[in-house]
A = this chain, B = another copy of it.
Amino acid sequence: MTIDKNFLSIIKKIQKDIDEILITYPFPDKPKYLYDPLKYVLKGKGKRLRPILLILTGNAFELEGSDIKNAALAVELLHNFTLVHDDIMDNDQVRHGQPTVQNKWDTSTSILVGDAIFVEAQRLIGNINTNSQNIYNRFNDVALDVCVGQAYDKEYEGKEEISLDEYLHMIENKTGALIGLCAEIPALLSNQDSKVCEQLRDFGYNIGKSFQIQDDILEIFSNAKSMGKSLGSDILSKKQTALTITARKMVPKEWSDFCYTIKDCPIEKTIELLRSFFDQNDIYTEVKSLSDKYLQDGLDNLLVVPKSNRNELKLFTNYLKNREY
């Protein structure tokens, strides 16, 4: 299945709309300490995948209007809040194609900017009128999941005993939960019964896990410019990734020897060597097929959506499968 050109223009239009809203969002000018870096974060070149998914799921339930728009912005802001804080914790220097806040300003500024972006997300959720308390509660359950996922991510740094299951549980919280919410909110807004809401949530969970596994792949196999962030930083900071865990499991001796060999290599060389290693030992193929499996599971969850309205979400799944950044 190649990428549908008409579909590409649909998601580019949504992306452009979200960018436009974020750039023209009526934030005050003062205090400059807060609002200058906050506006800077929101004009970064994000992929806007979460609001795109939320709006496409809204289309599947034939929803439009302010509730969908507020929810779409809120999930994008929640995501940006976590990025700003994670970038401090992971000491990342580049995000969305520009220096991170703690790189351009400092740690204090980026803590506060993250906090304020999170509050703004909550205020948008507060404007939702349908099923509001339920959505508010789901939003904050997921925000907690994201914190929990990030905590596991930090806790697992450098721990060689972490299993693939532990890794999957971590990314389910860190990435799956929010993408699950993007697909669940429109079902809640259209007052679908709980089975439909759950299947939509699981759809998002599954494609979210696939997305994160693919992110691990792209961190090694993409190029830095299109990713908009530095490559290899997860591996350098000894984070658990689908690739490293699978290598440790499939070819433990070779992986251990290889890690010793690359210990003092510069980053570019390390990435080049990692690519060959993961290719030659079929790690790449194994991990890519795990990612594809979750996409397929996601497609199965979509069966609760009326067939006539399912196409955009199927195309979105295919779009994730083929993304190169």
Contacts and interface: CB of A to CB of B under 8 A. Distances in A.
Contacts of A126: 133, 136-137, 140
Nearest to A111: B85
Contacts of A89: 107-108, 111-112
Nearest to A88: B111
Nearest to A110: B111
A151 interface: yes
Given A111-B88, A132-B133, A154 B33 contact: yes
A323 to B, nearest CB: 28
Contacts of A151: 31, 33-34, 112, 116
A144 B123 contact: yes
A241 B116 CA distance: 24
A301 to B, nearest CB: 26
A85 B118 CA distance: 14
Contacts of A141: 123
A10 interface: no
A18 interface: no
A156 to B, nearest CB: 9
- Residue among A85, A89, A112, A151 with most chain B CB within 10 A: A151
Interface in A64-114: 85, 88-89, 107-109, 111-112, 114
A143 interface: yes
Given A116-B147, A147-B116, A155-B31, A140 B111 contact: no
Contacts of A108: 88-89, 154
10 contacts: A31-B152, A32-B155, A33-B151, A33-B154, A34-B151, A85-B115, A116-B148, A116-B151, A120-B144, A123-B144
